[in-house]
Amino acid sequence: MEKIIGLKELRNNVAAYAARVSKGDSFVVVKQSKPLFKIVPVIPETTESYNDPNYKTLLDFTKIRKGGVPVEQIVRALIEIERDGQSKKSHRKVAKRTKASL
């Protein structure tokens, strides 16, 4: 069963929750009793593919840079796209802008 945590609780104890997720726990994060998002562990490529029909990989950041891309660069690219008013194919634009900033 998934655990439900508040956004403020997650913010205040992010390191502890990150450690628990890396061990296999998953959480549903809520704000004012409404679900916001779900935190799940990453499934290594050596194991079976993700079986959830709602899961879709939009962009593999490890193909841009070995070991992935820092989240700060992704957020910056997303903010730039939002500021520019561009929404179509935004995941490709995030990849290009993230790659350019490396």
- Sorted by where each begins, the domain ranges of the chain are 3-39, 61-100
Residues 6+ apart with CB under 8 A from 22: 41
Whole-number pLDDT of residue 46: 43
Tokens of 23: 């061990």
- Residue 85 DSSP label: T
Distance separating alpha carbons of residues 17 and 81, to the nearest angstrom: 30
Mean pLDDT by 10 residues, the chain (102 residues): 88 91 89 90 58 65 74 77 62 63 56
Residue 39: CB atoms within 10 A of its CB come to 17
Distance separating alpha carbons of residues 69 and 80, to the nearest angstrom: 17
